[in-house]
Amino acid sequence: MNVLDIEGVCKIYGEKENEVKALVNINFSVKQGEFIAIVGTSGSGKSTLLNIIGGLDTPTKGKVIIKNRDIASLKRKELTIFRRRNIGFVFQDYSLMPVLNVYDNVALPVTFDKGKRVDHRYIEILLKDLGIWEKRTKYPSELSGGQQQRAAIARALANKPAIILADEPTGNLDSRTTSEVMGLLKNSSKKYKQTILMVTHNEVIAQCCDRIIRIEDGEVYMEGGDRG
């Protein structure tokens, strides 16, 4: 089953002489559980693509279909709920809430979701899997970059989303922490059958993924073979 279909997605920023064609006719499908690397030079459209898939930005043309729903058909409020339940975001700068401790940061997406009870057992498992259970009462400022990124990953996984969108999640980490964080993402995608789309500059990391989607000047120019 495809968890995601991108159909003819274009994104143009600005108008007339200021026009920037950030994405030009992007088409691809992603199966449940696939771990995909998105690579390309700076300014090629990677973040724009991820933001459009996550419903943080809208395409100028084309469709994003997640679990057989065209996300453009959702009203604003519906989209917010749909996004919270189906998509987990991991950003390069972690984007943790400074006034909340690790545990509360991770539980936040569930807390937001009215009518959904926080599965404390699941959050405990996540924090233990990610090696930050002992840090659960610490605040983001008390953690290293790698620990903050683990907390951000735990938060992205807390709602058991079908899709994880990660924009250069290891961009600010040293190489040892990078390979640890990569291992954690890979494990969780296997364990919870989650689909991951991860933007990376790191060719070695990209080679560890199931598939590589290369973007240049807003176009997909080559897809690596399926490595199963």
Ligand X SMILES: Nc1ncnc2c1ncn2[C@@H]1O[C@H](COP(=O)(O)OP(=O)(O)O)[C@@H](O)[C@H]1O
Q: What residue ranges bind ligand X (CB under 6 A)?
A: 13-14, 20, 22, 40, 42-48
Nearer to ligand X, 44 or 188 (CB): 44
| CB nearer to Mg ion: pick between 91 and 103 | 91
Q: What are phi and psi of 64, to 5 degrees?
A: -115, 115
Tell me the closest approach of the beta carbon of residue 57 to ligand X, in angstroms. Answer: 8
Give the C-alpha separation, 54 to 20, whole Å.
21
Q: What minimum distance in Å lies between the beta carbon of 128 and ligand X?
A: 33
Least distance in angstroms from the C-beta of 61 to ligand X: 15
Considering the complex, state which of residue 46 and residue 150 has its C-beta at the smaller distance from ligand X.
Answer: 46
Distance between CA atoms of residues 156 and 90, nearest Å: 6
**Binding partner selected for residue 14 from Mg ion, ligand X, none, CB under the kind-specific 5 to 8 Å limit:** ligand X
Report, in angstroms and rounded to the nearest whole number, the Rg of the chain calculated over CA atoms.
17
CB of 16 to ligand X, least distance (A): 13
Is the Cβ of residue 11 or residue 46 nearer to Mg ion in the bound state?
A: 46
Contact indicator for 162, 195 with CB cutoff of 8 Å: yes
200 near Mg ion (CB under 5 A): no
Question: Measured from the CB of residue 168, what is the shortest distance to ligand X in angstroms?
Answer: 8
* Closest to 181 measured CA to CA, from 131, 221, 122: 131
Binding pattern for the stretch 25-54 against Mg ion, x by CB under 5 A and - elsewhere: ---------------------xx-------
d(CA 142, CA 101): 10
Residue 221: which of ligand X, Mg ion, none does it interact with, CB under 5 to 8 A by kind?
Answer: none
Residues 124, 81, 3, CA angle at the centre, nearest 5°?
A: 80
- Count how many Cα atoms sit within 13 Å of the Cα of residue 51 in the half-sphere of its side chain: 13
How much of the chain is in helix, strand and coil states, percent to nearest 5? 40, 30, 35
Binding residues for Mg ion (CB under 5 A): 46-47
